[in-house]
Chain A
Amino acid sequence: MAPKAAQSASTAKVAGAAPAAKAMAAKAAANGSASSHGPKPFTREQDLLAYREMLMIRRFEEKAGQLYGMGLIGGFCHLYIGQEAVVVGMQMATQPGDQVITGYRDHGHMLACGMDAKGVMAELTGRRGGYSKGKGGSMHMFSIEKQFFGGHGIVGAQVSLGTGLAFANRYRDNGAVSLVYFGDGAANQGQVYESFNMAELWSLPAVYIIENNRYAMGTAVTRASAQTDFSKRGVSFNIPGEQVDGMDVQAVHEAGSRAIAFARAGKGPYILEMQTYRYRGHSMSDPAKYRTKDEVERMKNEHDPIEQVRGRLLGTHRVPEDEIKKIDAEVRVIVNESAEFATVDPEPDASELWTDIVR
């Protein structure tokens, strides 16, 4: 592939010597809004969709936590609770054919891609009806049909792999964009920068979504990262980046739409730092002693992505509480059915030990 001509860096940032007011506006833009008044408000339909999708992830994850507690789910189990707005807002900005790839904190991504809750939950419990017939588990699931490419347990590996998906899109000239999710911890892996370099060099249609939830296991961002503004991590490759309020699904959607359009137009990769937060421990067995209860409570009470949308539904959109309760009940049914299935579905047949090794 022919290297592309050098292009100017960030679209979202303003030159350093800007006066205070301008710097503020630039900051607002960097926070994902077109103006200083915040992102464009969602319509009633958009908010209803975002509410249902985020609630589905939250309830699913709570249920997964419960099944883990009952010993039905083994090994590692990384919950996405608190981060729902990131994947839901991004997914609302995609088109059919766009691909998604992420790490091991992947249940939310799968549900947002439209994968069946039963198949995901049954994989968590290691049953034959799971997406990987029970052979992959929580961290390793895939759906070609939904263009979800995993589900990867090696921190940072998905960044090169996702760049490869973008490479395939460019090779086929199919107009699809690859959404590559990774954490603030993963952002320190060398292969991330190897991938950034190639993605920009070859103008690959990739959107890199850094889910900065402030911690990598027990390590706060400030203890691991020399540059904690992850939107700048592409600067030396001329990849534009933005910091986004990842607790606000509208802000995510707006920045995501901009980034995806940029990549789809053939302008190359784009970086979005989603400022988000995970309420639960890193995995189920993490007591989370590295942060205060206060910090967690503040995020839950003041920034919860689902409560923000619920507030708008009840307020601005005047959706009757009953209608919202109906959504809650529908979601609960789907989640309970998935748990029921994941409990009664048999384990894979012993003969599956030897299948799917080579084709």
Chain B
Amino acid sequence: MPIDVLMPALSPTMESGTLAKWLKKEGDRIKAGDVIAEIETDKATMEVEAVDEGVLAKILIGDGTENVAVNTRIAIIAGEGEDAAAASSGAPAQAAAPAPAAVPVPAASVPAAPRSAAPSYDASGEIPAGTEMVKTTVREALRDAMAEEMRRDDSVFVMGEEVAEYQGAYKVTQGLLQEFGARRVIDTPITEHGFAGVGVGAALAGLRPVVEFMTFNFAMQAIDHIINSAAKTLYMSGGQLGCPIVFRGPNGAAARVAAQHSQDYAAWYSQIPGLKVIQPWSASDAKGLLKAAIRDPNPIVFLENEILYGQSFEVPKLDDFVLPIGKAKVVRTGRHVTLVSFGIGMTYAMKAADALAGEGIEAEVIDLRTIRPMDVATVVRSIQKTNRCVAIEEGWPQSGVTAEIGMRIMEEAFDYLDAPVARVTGKDVPMPYAANLEKLALPNVGEVVAAAKAVLYR
């Protein structure tokens, strides 16, 4: 069967070009890979190679023809043993029908994002009544979570700088090397980009790495692997290849370490489809959510906070305390105003609620715990009751998590609002070193109280 040679597109945007010159004549024998012609576009001159073999039976578009549309028949190749003359008597040159068989879906029918049908969440059943509670620091709770999961599953291992022999830069991995040995508790060189990639590769191969960043500030060197390699691979593989990995470590402002060491990355990672982002406040949430994160088949960014590490909370004494990812917790109930926060932002919210109570204002405080996926339903349920909301975070305001909270409330609870949503955030400046300036740059309880009063018009 004679084979049509079509005017090729050289880039996704090319529509037509000039057939500059034929390098073969009618009657020439052609092998696959032979350059048969040169074409020109506004950008470049390119060669056309034959894909099939045979005899160049007929040239349909001559040298120097301009504006030849992509997919126009420009020549005919006769197959082995075919009659070139017969081939050349084929139909005259014509623009081929547009090639793709499938029709693009019109924009109007973009399928709606699957809305989580999940109802608002009630965290009160997470700890069975009568469970013994033990005062535990966030640091110990995180360590216990890792140790329990490592006992349960040999594919779980911990890697990072100073996690093994030094027992953790912030002592979160204390004792793990002693219990699990150097095969599973691995000191890495200072090489964030590299070890994040090694961790992701190991996860693609089915292991369950817990990659500790000494702090998330240094994970900027590794963010390509977190986003491009870990978060996107499931989608890019059509669901074939998952990446069960946890990236964890302290995030946000510590104390007096200035701009490069004091940044909250919650908003950055929470923008990425394919990631789950957790930022716990209490020790029990830290434990239950880290265990859940290690078992989760997706890549997870688990944001801790250095200042919270030493704080103690009641942690249930249970053999296997695992919390659901993506569920907020009403930490304090109230009927006048909803305060929403997460991570260390909760300390401002809780203190503000105390202060407001002194003035007869009952604040409901919600800890998001997970930033992505965000449990908006639980926030909305609260706003249906209080009709007012203040969102609090330590991160920067522009495109921040509180900006997202405000927008989601607009979309899902506008009719319930009696005042615009307010927010309290870190100031829009790099973190200063001087003690007084640092204090000014961070949110404070007074700002939260003032914002709550403002939405109450008091």
Interface status of A16 (Cβ within 8 A of chain B): no
Interface status of A141 (Cβ within 8 A of chain B): yes
Interface status of A19 (Cβ within 8 A of chain B): no
Q: Which residues of B contact A344 (CB under 8 A)?
A: 101
Q: In the complex where A198-B191, A358-B274 touch, is A161 in contact with B49 (Cβ < 8 A)? A: no
Q: In the complex where A142-B240, A164-B197, A354-B113 touch, is A197 in contact with B189 (Cβ < 8 A)? A: yes
Q: How far is the CA of A191 from the CA of B229 in the complex (A)?
A: 14
Q: Are B49 and A163 in contact (CB under 8 A)?
A: no
- Which residue in chain B gives the minimum CB-CB distance to A140? B236
Within 8 A of B (CB), among A42-88: 58-59, 62-63, 65-66, 68-72, 74-75, 81
Q: Which residues of B contact A142 (CB under 8 A)?
A: 233, 236-237, 240-241
What is the 8 Å Cβ interface bit string for chain B, positions 217-260, against chain A (1 contact, 0 not)?
Answer: 00000001100110001111111111000000000000000000
Q: Closest Cβ of chain A: how far from B444's Cβ, in Å? A: 36
Could you say which of B11, B238, B276 contacts A284, with CB atoms under 8 Å apart?
Answer: B11
Interface status of A99 (Cβ within 8 A of chain B): yes
Q: Are A164 and B205 in contact (CB under 8 A)?
A: yes
Q: How far is the CA of A1 from the CA of B202 in the complex (A)?
A: 14
Q: Closest Cβ of chain A: how far from B16's Cβ, in Å? A: 12
Q: Closest Cβ of chain A: how far from B301's Cβ, in Å? A: 13
Interface status of A93 (Cβ within 8 A of chain B): no
Q: Are A165 and B110 in contact (CB under 8 A)?
A: no
Q: How far is the CA of A127 from the CA of B99 in the complex (A)?
A: 14
Q: Are B229 and A157 in contact (CB under 8 A)?
A: yes
Q: Are A357 and B235 in contact (CB under 8 A)?
A: yes
Q: Are A164 and B199 in contact (CB under 8 A)?
A: yes
Q: Are A135 and B204 in contact (CB under 8 A)?
A: no
Q: Are A285 and B194 in contact (CB under 8 A)?
A: no
Q: How far is the CA of A168 from the CA of B244 in the complex (A)?
A: 13
Q: Are B238 and A130 in contact (CB under 8 A)?
A: yes
Within 8 A of B (CB), among A92-145: 99, 101, 125, 127, 130-136, 140-144
Q: How far is the CA of A134 from the CA of B201 in the complex (A)?
A: 23
Q: How far is the CA of A292 from the CA of B418 in the complex (A)?
A: 72
Q: Are B6 and A70 in contact (CB under 8 A)?
A: yes
User: Which residue of A71, A164, A166, A347 has the most chain B CB atoms within 10 A of its CB atom?
Assistant: A164
Interface status of B203 (Cβ within 8 A of chain A): yes
Q: How far is the CA of A149 from the CA of B229 in the complex (A)?
A: 11
Q: Which residues of B contact A164 (CB under 8 A)?
A: 197-205
Q: Which residues of B contact A125 (CB under 8 A)?
A: 100
Q: Closest Cβ of chain B: how far from A36's Cβ, in Å? A: 33
Q: Are B235 and A135 in contact (CB under 8 A)?
A: yes
- Which residue in chain A gives the minimum CB-CB distance to B274? A357
Q: How far is the CA of A163 from the CA of B200 in the complex (A)?
A: 10
Interface status of B408 (Cβ within 8 A of chain A): no
Q: How far is the CA of A132 from the CA of B7 in the complex (A)?
A: 29
Q: Which residues of B contact A172 (CB under 8 A)?
A: 207
Q: Which residues of A contact B205 (CB under 8 A)?
A: 99, 149, 164-165, 168-169
Q: Which residues of B contact A194 (CB under 8 A)?
A: 189, 191, 193-195, 197
Q: Are A136 and B237 in contact (CB under 8 A)?
A: yes
Stretch in B180-188, B303-311, B421-429 with 4+ CB within 8 Å of A: B180-188
Q: How far is the CA of A355 from the CA of B235 in the complex (A)?
A: 8
Q: Which residues of A contact B189 (CB under 8 A)?
A: 194, 197-198, 201
Interface status of A356 (Cβ within 8 A of chain B): yes
For the complex with contacts A70-B70, A160-B197, 7 further pairs of A-B residues with Cβ separation under 8 Å are A72-B100, A157-B224, A161-B225, A167-B201, A287-B45, A357-B274, A359-B297
9 A-B pairs closest in CB distance: A164-B201, A160-B197, A69-B8, A194-B194, A133-B238, A287-B44, A168-B205, A356-B239, A161-B201
Q: Could you pull out 29 A-B pairs where Cβ atoms are within 8 angstroms? A: A2-B182, A62-B33, A70-B9, A70-B70, A71-B71, A132-B238, A140-B237, A142-B236, A150-B236, A151-B236, A157-B225, A164-B197, A164-B200, A168-B205, A168-B206, A169-B205, A171-B202, A171-B207, A172-B207, A190-B193, A191-B193, A191-B194, A191-B197, A287-B45, A350-B110, A354-B111, A356-B234, A358-B234, A359-B234
